[in-house]
Structure 1
């Protein structure tokens, strides 16, 4: 596993005071993902949990649906680095043309090839997320976000990463991951769920704004409740409404804003 943090000399200005110091920074490095020997995408990520990231991304892109769809995942040794990960599918040639991705997907750019809600609906087989019987209290969302924050060791040292966590209806964190890219953090978490062959978590919390890409990833993994700490985009709300995802924004402490499918947020 590559380094997740680095140390660099910086100059800090505070009013009239100037001092030189060494800061700890989150590492950002490229990861090329190859599928059946062909380049699939290049993403900028924080090293670590790369196999989970790849599984989560391929699931979000509709390339795989279970862990059994990937026969092997290994780092290419002929490159001299750990920045090329090659996956072999159980059924070769299983990458749909609609999922062919550009190698310019900088910054962990989510579902770059799927820019419409309809495209994600097709991945769901036309069936929105049901989440039957799921009820999450605002206090549970706050508990999950506290658990996510406690797990963000790189953020505590650098202030430079996003985090995502899968949690129970009571807010107990099941899996938590962090990365310089918010989409990568989500892929890592949902990839971990996939690799464990675990059922879809009822709650996903993310330390970022609520974007279309994150809503789409949650929907494809059949996560019924998504809570983000910052604002939603208009397309995120539209997508969540159509895809059956309860979207919660501005989740901070005892405050939150429910944007869609509010019946899953318990009020009593």
Structure 2
């Protein structure tokens, strides 16, 4: 992610104690809308931090059950501005390209089951699954984890620091969530940041989708904040067997993990951790 895309510098007045305020610059995390389309049809509008947009769109569509294989995606293109009195177009030179509207072009013959979408069209940077009907749809859409691989406490204890080192955006702004995907031995495969915790995870999923490393068995997902139901759902859709978090899980996340055969670790702080689902290797 480019620092120019992810970070905006603004002027402000900083007060410290009883003295007069000082005029300083501060770095903020950028939050902008992006519309995801599939074959010209609007699927969702997400509030995200610009950067790795194609990964975000792919990860979103994978975890919604719309995409399954890399070969299903022909291309992803930013849409051109509609000229007055004329139709929108993807053609080069047709108006100004809007990098907040991304159209996913599917390969010939790929059919889309629109009923698999589990969320509202608009998605804020902090929203989750929106209804009981959506929750039931998610639970029935992806198979439970069956692999028996288990991580060790020693490996888990090393992950937070390895993710922290990759969080350049957070270091500059203090305002970005992160998701990191790790190999079974603790090696960092990919890390992504975003103002939305589920967007950061979608970017990780999209990265691996495009790399052809799919599904994500034998991997550990670490998220920088809390673990919600939606985070567990997305991990299950990607085939991730173990999820760990620096902060707490919700009750729905724990229930979902136990029902789906996923391992779930919360409050991962060095050697200290809570295991809410699954068992660790010795």
TM-score (norm 1): 0.91
Which SS does the other structure have where 2:139 is aligned? Answer: helix
SS in 1 for 2:99: coil
Q: 1:68 & 1:113 partners in 2: Cα distance?
A: 32
Alpha-carbon contact 2:36-2:44 (below 8 Å) kept: yes
Q: 1:247 to 1:101 in 2, by over 3 A?
A: closer
- 1:143 and 1:172 in contact (8 A); partners too: no
Once the two structures are TM-superposed, the CA of residue 138 in structure 1 deviates from its matched residue by 2.0
Take 1:212 and 1:95, find their aligned partners in 2: how far apart are those partners? 23
Corresponding residue for 1:229?
246
Distance 2:29 2:126 in 1: 15
Which of 112, 120, 129 is the equivalent residue of 1:94? 112
| Cα distance change, pair 112–53 in 1 and its aligned pair in 2 (3 A) | farther
Q: Secondary structure at the match of 1:141?
A: helix
Q: Which of 77, 82, 94 is equivalent to 2:80?
A: 77
Say if 2:159 is the partner of 1:144: yes
Structure 1: 5+ residue stretches without partners: none
- Name stretches of at least 5 consecutive residues in structure 2 with no aligned partner: 82-95
Hey, what does 2:232 align to over in structure 1? 215
Q: Indicate yes or no: 2:68 matched with 1:65.
A: yes
**Alignment of structure 1 residues 1-268 onto 2, 5 Å:** 3-17=5-19, 18-78=21-81, 80-90=97-107, 91-99=109-117, 101-107=119-125, 109=127, 111-112=129-130, 117-124=135-142, 127-132=143-148, 134-199=149-214, 200=216, 201-262=218-279, 265-266=280-281, 268=282
Taking a change above 3 Å as real, the CA distance of residues 67 and 109 of structure 1, as seen in their structure-2 partners, is: farther
For structure 1, which segment, 248-257 or 180-189, has the greater mean C-alpha deviation from structure 2 after superposition? 248-257
Q: 3-state SS of the aligned residue for 2:26?
A: strand
SS in 2 for 1:131: coil
Deviation at 1:143, TM superposition (A): 1.9
CA offsets 1:148-183 (integer angstroms, 9 cap, x no match): 111111111111100001101111100110000000
Which deviations, in whole Å up to 9, do the C-alpha atoms of 1:27-83 show, x marking residues without a partner?
Answer: 111110001111100001111111001111101101011111222211112364211
Conserved? CA contact 1:207–1:230, under 8 Å: yes
Residue 118 to residue 10, structure 1, CA distance change in 2 (3 Å): same
**SS of structure 2 residue aligned to 1:210:** coil
Q: CA deviation at 1:101?
A: 4.8
**Deviates most, 85-94 or 161-170:** 85-94
Larger radius of gyration between Structure 1 and Structure 2: 2
Q: Decide whether aligned partners of structure 1 residues 115 and 253 sit closer, same or farther in structure 2, where only a CA change above 3 A counts.
A: farther
